[in-house]
Amino acid sequence: MGVKLKLGSMELELAYIDWLRAQGHTPLDGIETFFRHSDFVRSQLLMIHESEQEKLAAEAREHLRQRTSDPVFSAQFPMVYQCMDDGGEALRYTVTLTMSDKGAEWVGRVWNGSAYLGEIHGKGSGPQANYVDLARMHIESQVKCPGVLKPAQ
């Protein structure tokens, strides 16, 4: 079984994409956290001789930095927003909008560090409404209410 933590490895990119979607990080900002916390990286480092680990990890990081600078690659991920809960904890969330002629519905997915906290659902309508702003205001107000986050289904 070959090492998949190397420059240009499709397995590396796929593992990173899956991890980003599960962890709610932006592609560029998630690289270091991916290397610190992902099972994929951990398992690959075990297969590399210690003398080569740092070099291969640096090359893999650089490869991911180059990929994330490509707008086509980065466009497949939602924007990641930051907010604080009532206790002053930093949270991050993504917004997925579904638009119709009657308005918009959204799902906000919320994380605290590596812990996925759940989802906040909402909807709104109105002439000339900025639905992203409306969704963000709703999500940020709801994260401060106990028991509002629903586990994903």
Give me the pLDDT at residue 25, please.
93
Give me the pLDDT at residue 2, please.
60
Give me the pLDDT at residue 149, please.
74
Give me the pLDDT at residue 151, please.
63
Sign of torsion, CA 52 55 59 61?
Answer: positive
Distance CA 49, CA 53 (A): 6
Distance CA 16, CA 112 (A): 19
Tell me which DSSP letter residue 4 carries.
-
Give me the pLDDT at residue 137, please.
94
Q: What is the pLDDT along the chain (153 residues), one digit of tens a residue?
A: 466 666 667 889 999 999 999 999 999 999 999 999 999 988 888 888 888 888 888 999 999 999 999 999 999 999 999 999 888 889 999 999 999 988 899 999 999 988 999 999 999 988 777 999 999 999 999 998 877 776 665
Q: Give every strand in the sheet of 103-112, ordered side by side.
A: 80-84, 90-100, 103-112, 115-124
